[in-house]
Structures are given as C-alpha cells and as structure tokens.
Structure 1
Amino acid sequence: MGNYSSPRKHSRSSSPSLVEEPAVAYALSSYESIQLSRKGILKEALLQLAAQLSMTLQELAGILHVSEKTLHRYQNDKVLAPDLSERALLLSQLYHKGKAVFGDAANFNDWLRTPLPAFRQQAPITLLDTSFGFQLIMEELGRIEYGIFA
C-alpha cells in the first residue's frame, strides 16, 4: 500500500489502504467514491480490511458476491472489478464508522457478530450481502453514536 494523498491522483498501479487511510473510504465524497470504485481497489487492500474485521475468506466472498475460489485466485496486486471495489469501499466505510462508534475494532467486530433485536435477532454481519443491509447497519451505528437505542 503506498501513500495516498488524493482520490484524483489514484492510478491502477497504486491503491489506497482501506484500513490505514480512513479518508480513503470514510470521508470521500460520493463522486470520489464512484471514481475510486471505477478505478478499482487492490486485493491486498481488501485482505487488510478483512483482517481488521476478523473476517474469513468465506464471509468476505459472501459480501462481495464472488466465490471463495475466485477470490483466492486473484493475485494480491490485482485490481478488483468496479462492483467488487464498490462493495470493498462500503465495507471500509462501515469499518471506520463502527470503529469510531465503538472505540476500537475489537468491540465493533464483536458487535457485528452478535444477534441483535434491531436486526430481528440476526447478527449485522449476515446483512452485508445487500446494499440495504449496509444501509441498515450504518443507520443503526448512527443511532448508537447519538445514544438512540431501539
């Protein structure tokens, strides 16, 4: 992962770290996120993010809508397709929001795997296979951040 200063300077030969650079995914404008999704994210950055989320390859493949086998075949320096990159960016945004709300990655990771009444007794991680699930979880994190508990 190289240094990353601006989404406008991003090229296929360098990719931002989705974990170490919160501004990459968390504070990007919608247009910058679109641009970055189209250019693609390196598999290596995605794997770093998955490690921070204590996510298995199987969980990651389910979220990305790709088989484990396909994901495994990609080289670490492979730029992911726009649809996979978009989901990786959504996951990164969720990670940074959750980490900010819960204070650290471990607490957020535990929360992601806990069945909760707000999600009809499902663990939030099970909802990440749809964009609606991402939205629902982000909304719940916003409520928690402001002390509004369901």
Structure 2
Amino acid sequence: MDAEHNQSAPQSGLDYLRQRINDWHGSAMAETMNMRLIAVADGTATFEAFPSPKFYNPQQRVHGGYAATLIDSALGCAVQTRLPAGIGYGTIELKVNYVRKLDASVKRLLCTGTVIHGGRTMFTAEAKLFDENNKLYAHGSGTFLVYPS
C-alpha cells in the first residue's frame, strides 16, 4: 500500500477495497493488464479487463496467465472483503480451468470471485471469468492463508 492510501484508523478489507474502487489507482500490474476492480460486497469481488493482442501467446490467443491473474485477483479480493483490519492473506493454491479460447475479439471480460469458506486461518473461494454476454471462458478456485499483517 502506498503512502497516499494510508489511513490513521485501520480499515476492514471491505472498506479498504471500497475506497480503492472510488479512488482507483491501479497497481503497475493492473495497469499493464488493463484490469480494474469494479465491485465488492461481503464475500465477493468483481474485476473487469480488456484483452488485446499484446497479451497473445504464440497461438495468437490471450495467454492463460492473463485469465489466471484475473481469477487470482478476484479470489483474493473476495477473501479480503471478509477480513478485519490488520489481517492479511496470501494465495497458497490456485486451480484454473480454461473452457474456451480467448482472443482480442472479446472486448470486455468480467471476473467475479466468491468466498466458499472463511475460517480463522484459511479461506477457499471460486471465480468465473466471462464476457458481457455471460459466455464462460475460465473458472477457478483457490485456497488462501490468513495471517496478521
């Protein structure tokens, strides 16, 4: 977190993410990948992204890592919505299923993550990556370790 986003009073994960949506300054990675957090609620988070040929693999399709990063980001932020101030998390397992090719003809992607289980030390979540017509491109799940920040 950079200095301009520090608050004197600690914020819950949900409050922090809501603030980030309202005052979006994406990370360098988010800017590079043309992705943005657009919605959060208790146990859910949604990103939007705009694929382009700059993300292509040698087969002239969007690299699988692009979808995996969106899924991991939505999963992690969904988990963060359930965490109190001063508690962090980290991905310890990520599984992604690719169900159709993705290329730049898809103008906008949405990826929504949802918490399945929230425990004291571990969370699990699932996410779906789809276009504006609800066509599914990938889905995944993850496990997250919870720890004091």
Q: What TM-score do you get using the length of structure 2 for normalisation?
A: 0.30
- Where relative contact order (Cα < 8 A, 6+ residues apart) is larger, the structure is 2
Question: Per residue, is there more strand in 1 or in 2?
Answer: 2
